Amino acid sequence: MRALWAANVKDPVLIPRLASERLVWITKDDEAKRAHIKDIRKHGISVVWCRGLDRDENRGNRVTAHELHLMLTVKLRYIAEVVSITHTAVHHELYLHGGGVAPSVSCKRLDPERVSAKASLKRARLT
């Protein structure tokens, strides 16, 4: 598994590059799901959205470095295997639940079509 570190690179530039190198986009940016779903589908990239314990409507998704490390340590090998045997883009959501000293990590595979439908529904509720 290879990695690409792309600090300060805008998502519309990053997405085609990830596609050309067949890399998975790992992000904690909930807005990216809504803002870039058309580009994500167009370029056929696999995405992992990481969601932390600290969620607030006003502050959004706050994932600490420790939480992110825990989630990826527990589930990255599984996701890498799914991506390597699948010939289409796969979308996963990693999230913590339970809190306490050792929160548990869940990995949910998302249907790209439902991701878009959920985003559209959420946008409709906000307007």
Quick check: is 23 in a domain?
Answer: yes
Number of domains in the chain: 1
> What residues contact 29, with CB distance under 8 A and at least 6 apart?
11, 49, 61
Do the strands 47-51 and 54-56 form a parallel or antiparallel pair, or are they unpaired? unpaired
Quick check: is 118 in a domain?
Answer: yes
Quick check: is 6 in a domain?
Answer: no
Q: Which two tokens stand for residue 51?
A: 């969601």
CB of 37 closer than 8 Å to CB of 115: yes
Quick check: is 73 in a domain?
Answer: yes
Quick check: is 3 in a domain?
Answer: no
Quick check: is 4 in a domain?
Answer: no
According to the model, what pLDDT value does residue 29 have? 79
According to the model, what pLDDT value does residue 113 have? 57
According to the model, what pLDDT value does residue 98 have? 66
Alpha helices in 1-127, H assignment, sequence order: 11-20, 30-35, 37-43, 65-85, 112-126
According to the model, what pLDDT value does residue 70 have? 84
Q: Which residues pair with 92 in a beta bridge?
A: 48, 109
Quick check: is 52 in a domain?
Answer: yes
Considering the entire predicted model, what is its pTM?
Answer: 0.72
Per-residue pLDDT of the chain (127 residues; tens, 9 = 90+): 556 666 778 889 999 999 998 889 988 877 887 899 899 999 999 999 887 656 556 656 677 788 788 888 888 898 888 888 887 888 888 887 765 556 677 777 776 555 444 444 344 444 3
Quick check: is 48 in a domain?
Answer: yes
Domain of 54 in residue numbering reads as: 11-122
